[in-house]
Amino acid sequence: MTNPYQGPEADLGPDGPAAERVGPPRRRPMGHGWLWWRRAWRLTAANRVLWCLALLVFMAVVMGISLVGLFVPVLGNFAPTLIGPVLVAGLMQLAWRRWHDEEFDFGQLFAGFSVRTGPLFLTGLTQVVLQILFTLVMVVVALVLFGPEIAALFSAAFQSAPVDPASMAGLGPMSVIKTTLLMLIMMAVSIPYMAMIWFQVPLVLFGDRRPLPALKESLVAVLRNWRPMLWYGLVPVPFMLLVALVIGLLLAGASLVFGGDSLAMVLVGVLTGLLALVLMLFFMAVTMVSIYASFRDIFGVGDDEPDATPDL
């Protein structure tokens, strides 16, 4: 008898992701940083419109969760992070389907709500805890660096008195040095955080890992492959600069041609904004699939090698 209150379940099939072995992280050559992008492009371009629509739905859901979170003091700010892994799991499931040349199924976008849902929620909870720890560390660092200046500003605010220039003397060149140091520390702390969560979701979803061990395994995987990961991070930079240049030239050219026509400039601005949105959605889709491609390569999922890339 069918339960009318039972949630939807993703049809993974007998040869689904659970049937593939996810091994320990292995070291890959530096050139694989480019290979992951190439694989992702080939997998995404074949269904570029559907991928863009999927990412649009993904972003709309995340924005909706963020708006609802505004009504919950403090903790509401972490709502997107808590739900994020469950939603990202759907994108990873879509990447798995396309990797195996299966039909693009929009229903899989919410697969995280029916497959490994509990561990994925716990994954979001671990990321929330990491974000809180990161915030506390940065608050302590900011207090150490800017303690006197912050104290002087608060004192003046509470006493409704002008700020004493002598107490704010550190806001000159020394303040620039402190701000630069704060930014460097923020980058140094955020890099291991990103490394820990980079492969956490696919490890939990496909590798049947628990959330906390997945953090460690993801960190180890990134550290072992820092050279291809560095190359992977540099590959999209020239493409993003090229897109920014093209959009800037379009706006500049439209300004020269329609400079006196405000309605035409508004129309050009709207069209350019839509173009930028589509490109952003497609880039996000390729990025998600590239993470999946790197995951398969580094963790030897199904013993995949570069020659095993599907020819779409």
- In angstroms, the CA 264 to CA 284 distance is 30
Within 10 angstroms of residue 169's Cβ, the number of other Cβ atoms is 13
What's the total number of domains in the chain?
A: 1
Q: State the pLDDT at residue 259.
A: 66
4 domain residue, yes or no: no
pLDDT at residue 231 is higher than 70: yes
288 domain residue, yes or no: yes
Q: Which of 31, 81, 41, 36 is nearest to 295 (CA)?
A: 36
138 domain residue, yes or no: yes
| pLDDT one-digit tens code per residue, 17-46 | 666 788 899 999 999 999 999 999 999 998
pLDDT tier for residue 189 given thresholds of 50, 70 and 90 = confident
Q: State the pLDDT at residue 303.
A: 58
More confident residue, 59 or 12: 59
275 token code pair: 């173009």
What contacts 217, CB < 8 A, 6 or more positions away?
Answer: 24, 25, 199, 203, 209
pLDDT at residue 295 is higher than 80: yes
231 domain residue, yes or no: yes
pLDDT at residue 171 is higher than 60: no
Lowest model confidence (mean pLDDT) among 108-122, 164-178, 232-246, 270-284: 164-178
Average pLDDT of the chain, as a whole number? 82
Residue with tokens 């039909």: 103
N-terminal to C-terminal alpha carbon distance within the chain? 41
Cβ contact 102:15 at 8 Å: no
Q: Which of 280, 286, 279, 309 is nearest to 44 (CA)?
A: 286
75 domain residue, yes or no: yes
Q: State the pLDDT at residue 42.
A: 92
CA R_g for the chain: 24
Buried b (16+ CB within 10 A) or exposed e, 208-224: ebebeebbebbbebbeb
91 domain residue, yes or no: yes
Give the domain range for residue 85. 25-308
pLDDT tier for residue 184 given thresholds of 50, 70 and 90 = confident
Q: Which parts of the chain fold into alpha helices (H)? A: 32-45, 48-69, 79-99, 117-159, 173-198, 200-206, 211-224, 226-234, 236-257, 262-298
More confident residue, 258 or 38: 38
2 domain residue, yes or no: no
Question: Averaged over 216-244, what is the pLDDT?
Answer: 93
110 domain residue, yes or no: yes
Buried b (16+ CB within 10 A) or exposed e, 252-288: eebeeeeeeeeeebeebeeebeeeeeebebbbbbbeb
Highest-pLDDT range among 125-129, 165-169, 248-252: 125-129
pLDDT at residue 2 is higher than 50: no
| Phi, psi (deg, nearest 5) at residue 202 | -65, -30
Question: Averaged over 103-107, what is the pLDDT?
Answer: 86
